[in-house]
Amino acid sequence: MPAGISDKQAAKIIGQARDSISISFIPANELIKMRESVLRLSSGSKTIDELLGGGLETQTITEFYGQYGVGKSILCHQLCVNVQKPVDQGGLGGGALYIDTEQTFRPEWIVRMSKHLSMDPDSVARNIIYSEAYNSDHQILLLDKADQIIKENNIRLIVVDSLTAHFRSEYLGREMLAERQQKLNKHLHRLTRLARVFNTVAVVTNQVMSRPDAFFTMAVEAAGGHIVAHTTHTRVFVRRTASGPVRIARLVSSPYLPEF
Q: How do residues 73-98 score in pLDDT, each as one tens digit?
A: 999 999 999 999 999 999 999 999 99
Sign of the Cα torsion 204, 78, 95, 123 reads: positive
End-to-end Cα spacing for the chain: 58
CB-based contacts of 22: which residues, under 8 Å, 6+ apart?
A: none
User: For the chain, what is the mean pLDDT?
Assistant: 92
> Is 90 exceeded by the pLDDT of residue 117?
yes
CB-based contacts of 208: which residues, under 8 Å, 6+ apart?
A: 65, 66, 67, 220, 221, 222, 223
- Cβ-contact 168, 176 below 8 angstroms: no
Pairing of β 95-100 and β 61-65: unpaired
d(CA 61, CA 227): 13
Domains and CATH numbers, the chain: 56-253 (3.40.50.300)
Percent of the chain with pLDDT over 70: 94
